[in-house]
């Protein structure tokens, strides 16, 4: 028969084994069972529905129509009407293009033999010398403006330009056509500022220039 001391020692050993087992094996809480209920509350909750940052489409639509949403809406910046600016730029572009074409055409007329020959005849015409004086030349020697057309292929010349001498200024008008091989002068006049108009080419100090 075991002695009381052996029973006491075995009890202490069993108690120590239970304590060590509790330290080694952690205790887990027992799961709580919830009763099943049917209805909207039975729907499982997700992280999207539980997170307040995610809202449903219906809630967003309702919030957009709320007065608070209308007060917080930022108004779009007003866009200026640029149509007048575009029209102005277009007019400037067309004007620049037309001016460039006119300057190029005037430069081409200046270098033609018709213009040089007409000015040469004016310089040595006696009537032109009486009205204009000596040293007859273009009014603007640096850039004379020759108005009209010089069409060699079509056989027609119609030009006007300003001239001046040491006495006065005038405007020369020269018109010539070429129905065949030779040019025929139909108008060669000098008009003064007071309205005096004289025919040129009839009383020249030089023989007729073959243009």
Other beta carbons within 10 angstroms of residue 111's beta carbon come to 10
- For residue 97, report the phi and psi dihedrals to the nearest 5 degrees: -65, -45
Global pTM value? 0.55
Whole-number CA gyration radius for the chain: 55
User: Which among 95, 144, 156 has a CA at the least distance from the CA of 116?
Assistant: 144
Instruction: Please give the Cα distance from 164 to 144 (Å, whole number).
Output: 12
User: Which among 105, 90, 193 has a CA at the least distance from the CA of 148?
Assistant: 105
Residue by residue, pLDDT tens for the chain (211 residues) are 555 555 555 666 666 666 555 555 555 566 666 655 555 555 555 554 555 555 555 555 555 555 555 555 667 777 788 888 889 999 999 999 998 888 888 888 888 888 988 999 999 888 999 999 989 999 988 889 999 988 888 889 999 999 999 999 999 999 999 888 888 889 999 999 998 999 998 766 544 444 4
Q: Is 193 helix (H, G, I), strand (E, B) or coil?
A: coil
């Amino acid at each position: 028969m075991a002695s009381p001391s052996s029973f006491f020692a075995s009890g202490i050993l069993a108690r120590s084994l239970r304590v060590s087992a509790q330290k080694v094996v952690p205790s887990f809480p027992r799961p709580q069972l919830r009763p099943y209920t049917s209805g909207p509350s039975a729907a499982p909750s997700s992280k999207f529905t539980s997170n307040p940052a995610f809202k449903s489409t219906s809630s967003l639509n309702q919030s957009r129509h709320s007065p608070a949403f209308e007060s917080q809406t930022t108004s779009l910046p007003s866009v200026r009407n640029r149509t007048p600016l575009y029209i102005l730029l277009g007019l400037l572009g067309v004007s620049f293009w037309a001016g460039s074409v006119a300057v190029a055409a005037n430069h081409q007329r200046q270098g033609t033999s018709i213009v040089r020959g007409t000015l040469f005849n004016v310089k040595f015409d006696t009537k032109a010398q009486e009205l204009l004086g000596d040293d007859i030349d273009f009014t603007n020697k640096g850039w004379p403006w020759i108005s009209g057309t010089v069409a060699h292929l079509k056989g027609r010349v119609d030009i006007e330009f300003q001239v001046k001498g040491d006495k006065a200024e005038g405007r020369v008008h020269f018109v010539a056509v070429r129905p065949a091989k030779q040019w025929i002068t139909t108008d060669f006049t000098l008009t003064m500022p007071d309205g005096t108009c004289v025919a040129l080419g009839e009383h020249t100090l030089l023989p007729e220039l073959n243009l």
